[in-house]
Every structure is written in C-alpha cells, then in structure tokens.
C-alpha cells in the first residue's frame, strides 16, 4: 500500500508516534548480534524514557516492491525511523512482489538471527509459514498491515482499520446523498486487490454503512492499486453507468488513474471519496474543482510505529504511556475523514503518489 509524512492524528488508539521526515539513509553496517539466550526482563518503561539509547538490537525489514506511492512511503518511513535510534541496526532486504522471493528474503533474516522482524507480506496467507518459522526461532515478528491468519505467526500486528475505512467512506457518501434527497442512488465502488482480506473488510464496512441509509452498492470492480488499472476500471464503470451518484475508490494511488478517466469522460455529476490520504488527493480536495470531495486516512506512517514497536519488543520494554509492561498484541490505527474543511491540517502528512 505506500512520502513526506509526519505523525499526529493518524496513529490513535495507543499507537506510538512515528517519524515525520522521509530520508533515505542506512543505519550501522556492523554485523548483527545474535539474540541473547537469556530471557529479557520485562520492566515497565519510565514515562518518556523509551527513546533513550538502550540495548543494541538488529531489526530486519521486508515489504513488497514500491509499485505505488503508499508502499514507497512504508519503506521510507521504516528506514527514517530506524535511523533515529543509535541502538538500532536496520537490515532491510530487497523489496519484491514475488511471493517466493519474499519468503527467501525473510528466511535470510532468520538465518542472520535478527532481534526482531518487521514484515509487510505481499500476501499474509502465503507468507504465514515463514513468519511462523521466525517466531519459532525466537524472533518476534511485527506484522505490518496485511495480517497473517495464524496468530502464532506474529508477536504484534499494527495496521489500519480497514473496516472502519469503509464505514467512514460509506457514512460520508450516505450523508451527502441524504442531504441531496437522493433516493435509489447509483453507487459504484473501485477496490484495490479484491482477494486481500483488507479489501474485503473495506467493502464490508462500506456496505454496512450504506445500509444504515437504505443504500447499497450498484457495482464494484478491483483495480489492483495501480494507476493504469484505475483508469481502465473507472472507464468501464463510467461506460456501464450513464449516471452515477457516488463513487468510492479504495486507494488514492490508483485514484490518479480513476480521476484521469473521469476527466477524460467529462463526467462530474457525482461525488467521489478516496482512501489512504495521499497528498495528491488532498490537493484535489483542497482545490474543490473535481468530483473528489473526501478521502479516508490509511497512513503509511504505520511503518514508523512498527519499527518503534519492534525496538521496544526486542529490548523487552513496554509502551511508556500504558500501564502494562509489554507492547500490546495488536494496534489498530483510526480512520479519519479528510474534507475541504480540515484538509489543511492533514496536508503536511500526505504521501506523494
């Protein structure tokens, strides 16, 4: 999924603060130290003390190739955050969209005996076993975004609220159409990758929210998170539906192609809501000259939090703002709706598509 991003409203509900600056510099190249065989004492962190240098740890990192802006921001945020800590050695492996290559890359990190592994899988189900092997080897896995089906395959999951993202989009569209006294609206939905659980959760949230207004989705099609497919899918939907009342596009990266198709067709009779919170989408919303009226956050700054959590877990620490001595098993980011009324607040946090 993906970029200058900071942290403020995006990581709520207990998530730690991530990095804002996007820089591309590596940390120490010293050989990785093997994890200690002795158990680490779990001590409650003193308030504000977690950022102080502590035990040296090596954090492995694997994610898909940056074929769109959201994924590019994931990698940049992870690296930038790791660079902030003198006690972190960051070991990223070559990003890839090939499942077998990512499995091999993760296996290489297991062999290096990293102290923690931050892993955004191309597909959670297909990488479930290699993540389990890491956990069985005593390497805590911080599962980022696309979740593994087996909870024994990860120590902590951190990601966005996909169901909530769909709910937020559905509520915005439902309220807008209700305000216009629209009945029996034509609502089209452009998904990302239809087979991913995260996409299915977004669609379910959207569907459930629309039901509260007595509305339903007229047609939906997936666009694989790419600009080119976004253009193709949007063109097909526009041709199939001479009149549309609302469109929800799951992903702002593919939204560039969606908007291109809409502009090419000269259509402006409907409202559109995006997803993820790209800077491109925010500028469209700010300008208020296109059909795009809102987007719902799914911030790639979650990678910054994943690195911070990996460091705490590897050092045997908890989160300083919580009473518990250890990092929670899962952290879900809040989905926030960005409109022209609040876009100025969020624009500095947007990622470039």
pLDDT confidence bin for 42, thresholds 50/70/90: very low
* Domains of the chain, earliest start first: 162-299+338-349 (3.40.50.2300)
Distances (CA, A) of 352 to 10, 18, 252: 16, 18, 10
Burial of 304-343, coded b for 16+ CB within 10 Å and e otherwise, reads bbbbbbbbbbbbbbbbeeeeeebbbeebbbbbbbbeeeeb
Burial class (CB in 10 A: 0-12, 13-18, 19+), 30: exposed
Report pLDDT for 326: 95
Q: What is the pTM of this model?
A: 0.80
pLDDT score, position 24: 30
User: Dihedrals φ, ψ of 232, to 5°?
Assistant: -65, -50
User: What average pLDDT does this structure show over 3-31?
Assistant: 33
Indicate the range of 19-33, 189-203, 261-275, 322-336 predicted with least confidence.
19-33
Flag whether pLDDT at 27 surpasses 70. Answer: no
Which residue is associated with the tokens 């890839």? 96
Q: What is the pLDDT of residues 174-198, one digit of tens each?
A: 999 999 999 999 999 999 999 989 9
DSSP secondary structure, 249-300, as one string: ES-HHHHHHHHHHHHHHT--SSEEEEEE-BHHHHHHHHHT-SSEEEEEE--T
Lowest mean pLDDT across 34-48, 189-203, 292-306 = 34-48
Instruction: State the pLDDT at residue 26.
Output: 33
pLDDT digits (tens, 9 = 90+) for 262-272: 999 999 999 99
pLDDT cut 70: percent of the chain above it: 86
Tens of pLDDT, residue by residue over 227-277, are 999 999 999 999 999 999 999 999 999 999 999 999 999 999 999 999 999
């Amino acid at each position: 999924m993906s970029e200058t991003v900071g942290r403020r409203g995006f990581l709520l509900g207990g998530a730690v603060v991530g990095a804002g600056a996007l820089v591309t510099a590596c940390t120490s190249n010293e050989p990785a130290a093997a994890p200690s065989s002795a158990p680490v004492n779990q001590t409650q962190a003193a308030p504000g003390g977690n950022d102080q240098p502590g035990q040296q740890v090596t954090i492995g990192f694997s994610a898909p190739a940056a074929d769109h802006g959201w994924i590019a921001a994931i990698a940049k945020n992870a690296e930038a955050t790791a660079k902030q800590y003198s006690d972190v050695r960051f070991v990223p492996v070559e990003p890839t969209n090939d499942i077998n290559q990512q499995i091999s890359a993760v296996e290489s990190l297991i062999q290096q005996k990293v102290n923690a592994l931050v892993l955004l899988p191309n597909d959670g189900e297909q990488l479930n076993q290699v993540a389990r092997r890491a956990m069985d080897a005593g390497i805590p896995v911080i599962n980022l975004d696309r979740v593994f089906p087996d909870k024994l395959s990860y120590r902590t999951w951190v990601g966005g609220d996909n169901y909530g993202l769909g709910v937020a989009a559905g509520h915005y569209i439902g309220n807008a159409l209700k305000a216009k006294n629209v009945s029996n609206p034509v609502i089209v939905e452009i998904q990302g990758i239809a087979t991913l659980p995260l996409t299915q959760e977004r669609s379910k949230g959207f569907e459930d929210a629309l039901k509260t207004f007595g509305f339903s989705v007229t047609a939906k099609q997936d666009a694989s998170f790419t600009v080119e497919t976004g253009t193709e899918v949007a063109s097909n939907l526009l041709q199939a539906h001479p009149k549309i009342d609302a469109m929800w596009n799951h992903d702002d990266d593919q939204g560039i192609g969606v908007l291109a198709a809409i502009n090419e067709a000269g259509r402006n009779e409907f409202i559109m809501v995006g997803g993820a919170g790209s800077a491109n989408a925010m500028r469209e919303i700010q300008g208020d000259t296109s059909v795009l009226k809102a987007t719902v956050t799914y911030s790639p700054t979650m990678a910054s939090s994943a690195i911070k959590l990996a460091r705490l877990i590897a050092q045997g620490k908890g989160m300083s703002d919580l009473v518990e001595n250890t990092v929670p098993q899962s952290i879900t980011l809040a989905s926030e709706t960005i409109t022209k009324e609040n876009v100025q607040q969020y624009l500095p946090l947007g990622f470039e598509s």
